[in-house]
Amino acid sequence: MANETIEWLGNRLRILDQTRLPQETSFIDLTDYRDLALAIKQMKVRGAPAIGIAAAYGIALGAQSIRTSDKEEFFVRLEQIIQAFAETRPTAVNLFWAISRMRQAATGRNVPQATKALLSEAKRIHQEEIAATRQLSLLGADLIKDGFRILTHCNAGSLATAGYGTALGIIKAAKGQGKNIIVFATETRPLLQGARLTVWELRQEDIPVTLITDSMAGYFMNRKEIDCVIVGADRIAANGDVANKIGTYTLAVLAKENCIPFYVAAPTSTIDVSLPSGTAIPIEERDSREVTHFQGFSIAMEDTKAANPAFDVTPHNYVSAIITERGIIRKEYQEETAGLGRS
């Protein structure tokens, strides 16, 4: 799995088209950075860590296509390429973190050196993120007891991270420790990442999974059929507020009300220490047709007005712990995130 979601093939990037799963496992080879930027927008590659990695390769790919030896011209063109990725999706900070690293890697070099450095940096980001998700999964697995029934939302697995996964990584690691785990996966409307991707990933790992609609999570929590909730994150503010897939805040409130631990799993590349709280996190508003239509089929009257915020913010007081590769943060987020945020 780890090598399949995003794979660098020397002169092109191969991505698994996540919009086609689970019906079809098809790959797309991208040689033009603009096609990759579009693929990110269209969520063919998705999940905060995966977006960061893909954008890094995309910038390296774009740099290779710049036909000039003039340093100034090269950096003007490079900045245009970077902008194309910066404009794909606003919420996941991993994208901007990767962009910042890529810009830094090229700075001060001549054209051939910069081109080479950009590719090296993209590969380094990729490897670091794989290692980070593996490490946080092992740390998080200690929180999971044998027999736990775990609720997760959206998809925070290999597909979302191009690595081991965050929320699903912990579940897989716990299973690897011989623990019996049962997963409840919310379908995650509107784009059904839970139904399409999480169920698919867990079944490949032979982890029992029950699919539920987003509206059923409270029912099972209230019946004491859920032992903990684990989700991924798209951006974590310095105070521990968490932006993640729309519906996450609701699960956190339900968990608190039912005295169920609510864990957030994310590599430190997801922590944005520049933001004091979650209120400043930009929330992507996607096309309302994702809500009014289903696989092209209209589910409401023509011209129905629909809202489509793709993320919400869960205030830190609902979060029992944030699980990163550098350790598990419990409360007092402000101090701890400051030490953990990678820049």
Which residue numbers are catalytic? 234
**Residue in 40, 174, 192, 237 binding its own copies, rule: CB under 8 A:** 192
What tokens does 31 get? 């040689």
Q: How far is the CB of 161 from its own copies (least distance, A)?
A: 21
Among 108, 208, 276, 282, binds its own copies (CB under 8 A): 208
Q: Which is nearer to its own copies, 140 or 247 (CB)?
A: 247
Between CA 148 and CA 152, with CA 150 as vertex, the angle to 5 degrees is: 165
- Cβ contact 144:174 at 8 Å: yes
Rule CB under 8 A: say whether 38 interacts with its own copies.
Answer: no
Sorted by sequence, the CB contacts under 8 Å of residue 232 that are 6+ apart come out as: 47, 48, 154, 156, 160, 166, 167, 244, 245, 264, 265, 266
* H/E segment holding residue 327: strand 327-329
Size of the residue set binding its own copies (CB under 8 A): 52
Residue that the structure tokens 């063919």 belong to: 44
Residue 196 interacting with its own copies (CB under 8 A): yes
- State the DSSP H helix or E strand holding residue 311, giving kind and residue range, or none if neither: strand 311-314
Rule CB under 8 A: say whether 25 interacts with its own copies. Answer: no
Q: Does 312 bind its own copies (CB under 8 A)?
A: yes
Residue with smaller CB distance to its own copies, 62 or 194: 194
Q: Is 306 in the site for its own copies (CB under 8 A)?
A: yes
Is 304 a residue that touches its own copies (CB under 8 A)? yes
- CA–CA separation, 343 vs 165, rounded Å? 21
Exposure string over 33-56, b if 16+ CB within 10 A, otherwise e: beebbebbeebbbbbbbbbbbbbb
215 binds its own copies (CB under 8 A): yes
Q: 123 — phi, psi (to 5°)?
A: -65, -40
19 binds its own copies (CB under 8 A): no
Q: Is 1 a binder of its own copies (CB under 8 A)?
A: no
Q: Is 291 in the site for its own copies (CB under 8 A)?
A: yes
Residues near 206 by beta carbon (within 8 Å), at least 6 away in sequence: none
State yes or no: residue 298 binds its own copies (CB under 8 A): yes
Question: According to CB under 8 A, which residues from 242 to 271 bind its own copies?
Answer: 246-247, 249-250, 253-254, 256-257
Binding footprint of its own copies on the chain (CB under 8 A): 22-23, 184, 186-190, 192, 195-196, 199-200, 203, 208-220, 222, 246-247, 249-250, 253-254, 256-257, 291-292, 294-295, 297-301, 304-307, 309, 312-313
